[in-house]
Structure 1
Amino acid sequence: MRRQFTIPLSALGLIVFLGVVVTFDYITLLFDPVSDNAIEFEVTEVDQATGLPVLSHPQLIPRIIHQTWKNESIPEQWKAAQESCTLKHPDFEYKLWTDESSRKFIAENYPWFLDTYDSYAFTIMRADVIRYFVLEHYGGIYIDLDEGCQSRLDPLLTYPAWVRKADPTGVSNSVMGSSPHHPFFLKLMLELKNYNFNWHVPYITVMYATGPLFVSVIWKQFKRWATSDAEQVWVLMPAEPTGAYFNDLHGSSWHEDDAKWIMYLGVHWILFTVLGFVLAAVVGITSYLVVRRVYFPRSGLKYKYVHYGE
């Protein structure tokens, strides 16, 4: 009779194995300290003649600031943040990528990706991917419009590529820097097609297909084989307000109602983890009972009813 359990148990084992393989990078993000290659805030000397910071290491990233918006009319609530970056960096080239200029850039330089670019269900997904392409192509520093610059960014130009630590885990795509043609940003570009799934929940679709969770997973994969100093991706760590490069205004203009529910799950993750284990136990017990009933039916058993008092 034990052989009759072989098929269902093998199938269950295969499902569990495939589940672990598919979710391995997502699961291990929870336990990654993200402290490898950490960047801390650095106070630099200022050249008295030029008024610019003196870099202690060679500059690897070009002096370019990239930002994105649907058109050239920046909303009032983000103009101060934008100007805090441009005014502090008059020696940097500034590129604002609009919906029109972004699509034109992809069509002219990466036509193989244009169909995927046009297929995205949400505009924010195109705003996500254009930052990876322009950083790979030109190099520079990408900054979300709701990120103000608190300090000069010159020390960040001495790293070949960097991203910022996300809360609570993984890395973010809100600010990033890269030298031209860095292999990490090339990998981001090439993997986008493989992650282009519509999960029919806006927040999850954006996060997994083009957003921070996508970047975090590719970053985890990239760390396994990046060996040379030029291939390393550094991580900008959180800093106190008095020692930070950026001021995060938390715009999140693309969030919809589903994002609030997912944020609620994040706040009450212990409760929902327990409920998840309970649900898994119920599914497991139910599966066992079904298998038992299928392979060990009680046909042929006869029950004798005894009526007392007759």
Structure 2
Amino acid sequence: MQLQRQLAYPLRRPGTFALCVLGVLVLLGVVATFDYITLLFDPATDNAITFEVPTFDEATHTYSTAQPQLIPKIIHQTWKNETVPEKWKAAQATCTAMHPDFEYMLWTDASAREFISTQYPWFLETYDSYPFPIMRADAIRYFVLAHYGGIYIDLDEGCQSRLDPLLTYPAWVRKADPTGISNSVMGSTPNHPFFLRVMLELKNYNFNWGVPYITVMYATGPLYLSVVWKQFKRWATSDAEQLWILMPAVPGAAYFNDLHGSSWHEDDAKWIMYLGLHWLFFTIIGFVLAAVVGLSSYLAVRRYRSKQVKYYKQLQA
């Protein structure tokens, strides 16, 4: 009987151990990717912005809305130097010409680094460590919105209407396609808790994945912003803390005209975008591969146990 127990124990142990390891790996995978997975099923309609046409006061030559202005009248844009490419000057002009009462701030590589060095020296090492210039362009937009407030607009975005209605929300971003939120146009009051959190989390996500597009998206870009947004939604409660979402435009209710510049995209971006467009198919493929690996592991354990049983029977004989 004692011999039987000693031989039976190693028969059970491999299967139990394999299942425990698999269970731990699955649990760790779910925890690590929870925010990314839930992005696929978040319509971002909880705090959708409604369209409002500002009225023009002939006496004061100013625009007004039914709700009070919260965001300061500042437009932020970024480029590597003061010379904006010709292909984007028209888009830039639509925003500046339509908003002569707004302060305009163009952040160059030099002025952005000087701003970080002076105002946020604790972040300078991380800022300088970014392997791609677009990552610094991403980071600076979060910092200036948290510091000054205002509206950030990518240079490849043109303004189609006055932005005054967007000044009545404490902080907002635009819905991304197909999922998450975008960092191409954003607005905020100074020191809004969402953009303060975005600033502080940047150091924790500073990791080079070896692929330019993935590194940018996960460390500073829209996917990073979307994950922080998912985390932020769990504890933001008051109206002042809410992040509002500018949904895709409907006819007669468009603020911006996206020219899709994407100047930082490299060849790897095409493959990643293809995966994103067919995420459901590749998700199913992933589950199928996981099932194949799991089944193969199970069959390997069964073969091992079968050999042990055969060996045990030979000893009994």
Shared topology, TM-score over 0.5?
yes
Where do 5+ consecutive residues of structure 2 fail to align? 1-10
In 1, Cα distance between equivalents of 2:287 and 2:158: 42
Aligned: 1:149 with 2:169:
no
Paired letter, 1:168: P
User: What is the aligned counterpart of 1:175 among 175, 185, 194?
Assistant: 185
Paired letter, 1:264: Y
| RMSD of aligned residue pairs (Cα, Å) | 1.8
CA-CA distance at 1:266 after TM superposition? 2.5
The answer to which of 252-261 and 277-286 deviates more is 277-286
Aligned: 1:187 with 2:197:
yes
Paired letter, 2:203: K
Confirm or deny: 8 A CA contact 1:40 1:239 kept in the other structure: no
In 2, Cα distance between equivalents of 1:221 and 1:229: 17
Aligned: 1:250 with 2:237:
no
Describe the shift of the 1:23–1:270 C-alpha distance in structure 2 as closer, same or farther (beyond 3 A).
Answer: closer
Confirm or deny: 8 A CA contact 1:34 1:235 kept in the other structure: yes
CA-CA distance at 1:279 after TM superposition? 1.5
Q: Which residue of 1 aligns with 2:146?
A: 136
Q: Which residue of 2 aligns with 1:45?
A: 55
Q: Whose helix proportion is higher, 1 or 2?
A: 2
Paired letter, 2:89: K
Confirm or deny: 8 A CA contact 1:265 1:272 kept in the other structure: yes
User: What is the aligned counterpart of 1:25 among 14, 31, 35?
Assistant: 35
Aligned: 1:87 with 2:97:
yes
Where do 5+ consecutive residues of structure 1 fail to align? 303-310
Q: Which residue of 1 aligns with 2:7?
A: none
Give SS of 1:39's match: coil
Confirm or deny: 8 A CA contact 1:66 1:96 kept in the other structure: yes
In 1, Cα distance between equivalents of 2:214 and 2:251: 30
Aligned: 1:59 with 2:63:
no
Describe the shift of the 1:116–1:301 C-alpha distance in structure 2 as closer, same or farther (beyond 3 A).
Answer: same
Q: TM-score, normalised by structure 1?
A: 0.93
Paired letter, 2:243: V
Confirm or deny: 8 A CA contact 1:161 1:234 kept in the other structure: yes
CA-CA distance at 1:290 after TM superposition? 3.1
Confirm or deny: 8 A CA contact 1:162 1:177 kept in the other structure: yes
The answer to which of 241-250 and 30-39 deviates more is 241-250
Aligned: 1:119 with 2:129:
yes
In 2, Cα distance between equivalents of 1:65 and 1:194: 28
CA-CA distance at 1:9 after TM superposition? 1.3
CA-CA distance at 1:241 after TM superposition? 4.6
CA-CA distance at 1:133 after TM superposition? 0.3
Aligned pair count reads 303
User: What is the aligned counterpart of 1:104 among 85, 90, 114?
Assistant: 114
Aligned: 1:273 with 2:283:
yes
In 2, Cα distance between equivalents of 1:69 and 1:19: 38
CA-CA distance at 1:88 after TM superposition? 0.5
Q: TM-score, normalised by structure 2?
A: 0.91
CA-CA distance at 1:278 after TM superposition? 2.4
Confirm or deny: 8 A CA contact 1:41 1:239 kept in the other structure: no
In 1, Cα distance between equivalents of 2:61 and 2:45: 32
State the Cα deviation string for residues 85-136 of structure 1 (Å, max 9, x = none): 0000111110000111111100001111111001111100000000000000
Confirm or deny: 8 A CA contact 2:173 2:183 kept in the other structure: yes
Confirm or deny: 8 A CA contact 1:41 1:245 kept in the other structure: no
CA-CA distance at 1:7 after TM superposition? 2.1
Residues 152-167 of structure 1 aligned to structure 2 (within 5 Å): 152-167=162-177
Residues 159-238 of structure 1 aligned to structure 2 (within 5 Å): 159-238=169-248
